[in-house]
Amino acid sequence: MKRSELTEFAVEEEGFKLKIRRGANGLPLVTSSQGSYSPFGASSENNSAPSTPAPAAPSAPSVPAAPAGDEAGIGYIKSPMVGTFYRSASPESKPYAEVGTKTVETSVICIIEAMKIMNEIQAEIKGTVLEALVENGQPVEYGQKLFKVKLG
């Protein structure tokens, strides 16, 4: 944290919260959904750490705020993980899905590379691809919309 001058980091997923914040003495304070502790020694700031999860909660809902205004009969294929999005198996290969491609639940729609592992992503919905929402080679987040699909 000192090398990057980072002062605070928070993550929240399915009821689990983790927040790391640099204390006044420069040592990290860690807060999780199970409580707080300072693995680097006792600190008087440790008493203030349990109140730190409150700021983490508002940052998490900002990601799902985008789905507002979804159209009827339209679905989205979302990223099941964080990684790098690829439309095809290799740069020379044809994309798995283009505008007009019909999908079923088990159709491989793209690849997301995470930790040097290529993960084939299935559509999980039946329909016709209307639009690719992410450019090839771009980083994606968990839950990010990848493709717009007309259901049916």
Pairwise CA distance, residues 144 & 148, whole Å: 11
pTM of the model: 0.54
Judge contact between 141 and 61, C-beta under 8 A.
no
Query: Any residues with CB less than 8 A from the CB of 86 and at least 6 apart, and which?
Result: 110, 111, 112, 113, 118, 136, 137
4-8, 60-64, 66-70, 94-98: least confidently modelled range: 60-64
Architecture of the structural domain at 74-151: Beta Barrel (2.40)
Check residue 8 and give its pLDDT: 75
Check residue 122 and give its pLDDT: 93
Top-confidence residue, 145 or 64? 145
Q: Tens of pLDDT along 4-56?
A: 667 777 777 777 777 777 765 555 555 555 444 444 444 444 444 444 444 44
Check residue 21 and give its pLDDT: 75
Pairwise CA distance, residues 9 & 3, whole Å: 14
- What is the pLDDT averaged over residues 99-126? 93
What residue spans define the domains of the chain?
8-59, 74-151
Burial status of residue 85 (CB atoms within 10 A of its CB: 0-12, 13-18, 19 or more):
buried
Q: Tens of pLDDT along 77-101?
A: 999 999 999 999 988 999 999 999 9
Check residue 12 and give its pLDDT: 79
Check residue 30 and give its pLDDT: 55
